[in-house]
Every structure is written in structure tokens, then in C-alpha cells.
Amino acid sequence: MQPVSPAPDTVSLSSSLSSPAQNAIAGVHEPLPQEVETALWRGNELGGPVAQVLTTGFPQLDDVLPGGGWPCGALTEVLVPQFSVSELRLLSKVMCWQTEKERTVALVGPPHAPHAPGLRHDRVDERHLVWIDVDSPRDRLWCTEQLVKAGTFGAVLSWLPLVRAEQIRRLQVLASRSKGPVFLCRPESAAREASAAPLRVVVRPHTDWQLSLQVLKRKGSPLEEPVVLPSVPGGIGKIMTERMRYPSRLRPVEPSHAVVRVAAAPLRDRSKVASTS
């Protein structure tokens, strides 16, 4: 019986090749392909745009929005404590730029008729505005869907005080196929409701003709502090004095004297005094 010769030295294939899992354990990270790296979003980072964006006209707001502006091909919810107070002051700049490019901006169910002189002060060309006067929630939603589905508008602004989560989801699907931004103006109380809109903001009036904007939802880490935006209505800034421009700087007037009011005697006591006399 011949002795068994020792087996030649062999190297295990699994030990010679490194797997991604082994690299991860060892702390070695291979670079990703460019197309994968571009599409990758990490949860602790401010997300990049998946489509084109339009600048908001407020640099401090662009800095905190993914891509640096309002997303095109997506919904943006603008929540306000009261309609017609803050939303147009926030969106007038994007309306101005779109109408200057002769792109039509549609307004669906605004609480009041558009004020043409005021829009002109904000350099919004009313010749490229479409105002759709509808009242019922069903008609508002139907008109919004048709405009978004057309995909030919520079921007769509729709006031939807009553809308369900599944209806917003359907609007988001339609908006993803359009080229312009779609803004849904809703009451601030809707902040507690679920929404498929990738961007949600709450805008409130602030001191000294400013707006306070809180980002409720964005692609990226939460934004804790609100953003304060200068927003003097167009045309007024030219005639405002310093006192009118910064009313919060005015000192409160304190009375130099106090008036002591003596409590009147009860009617019952008065009658007793009158009877004894």
C-alpha cells in the first residue's frame, strides 16, 4: 500500500475574493458607479432634486429646500392660518418669473378675485393668468386634476380646503408628469393629516412685514427653526417710512399717570342711605 501524498497547497476561492459584506466589515468601501451615486440619497442629508426646480426668490429659503427651490413635477403644500393673507406674498415671485416667460399660471378657487393692480406691482403679467372661479370641493379637485394632467402650465395654484389623502396621492402622481410646480393651498389644521406631497410648508404673517415659514416635510433631515422672509407687498415699499417699515421698533407708550377709579356703591346700599335720610 502506497502512502498517500500530501495534497498540494490550495487557496480557498472564498478567502481570495473579498465580498462587499466583508469589505463593509473591514471598513473598506468601494466607490459606487456614478449613476448609482447620483441617485443615492442618505437620510441625514438634504435631498437633491429629482427634477428641475424654480428658485423661490428668497435666498434663505432656497438654502433649506432640496435642490434650492420649488420642485417642478411635484406637489408643494402651502399651509396657512387664513387664506389670502400669506400664500400669494410667498408665491408671487414664482408667478412673476413664469408669466415673464409667457408661461400661463392657473389659479383654482382663490378666496378672492385676483387684484390686477396689486399683481402688477409684483411684476406679475395678468395676461398670462387663468382664474377659475369654483366653490365646491369636488369642482376644485376636478379642475386641479385637469390642469395638472395637461402639463402645459407654468404653475398651478389651487386652494383645496377639503381634500382627502388618497386624492392628494393621485394629484402627486399626475404632477410627476408635468413640467411646472403645483401648489396646494390648505388650512394650517391640515398639518396633522398624512400627505403624499414631498414638500410641505406652513407660512404665517410675522413682524415688520415679514413671513415666518416652517418646513414641515422635505427630502432630508427635519428643519427645526422657522425661516423668516422679507415680504413687503409690491408698490408699498416705495412709500413706506421707517416707522411704517419697522413697526416693532416703536417704543410702547407708557402712561405717565394713573387714574384711580372708585368702585361705585352697590345699589342696595344706596337705597338704604336714601331711606334713612
Domains of the chain and CATH, by start: 53-247 (3.40.50.300)
Q: What is the mean pLDDT of the chain?
A: 82
17 pLDDT higher than 50: no
pTM for the model: 0.73
pLDDT at 91: 96
Q: What is the pLDDT of residues 80-105, one digit of tens each?
A: 999 888 999 999 999 999 999 999 99
pLDDT (mean) for 28-45: 61
Cα angle, residue 45 at apex, residues 40 and 50 outer, rounded to 5°: 50
What grid cell was written down for 43?
437620510
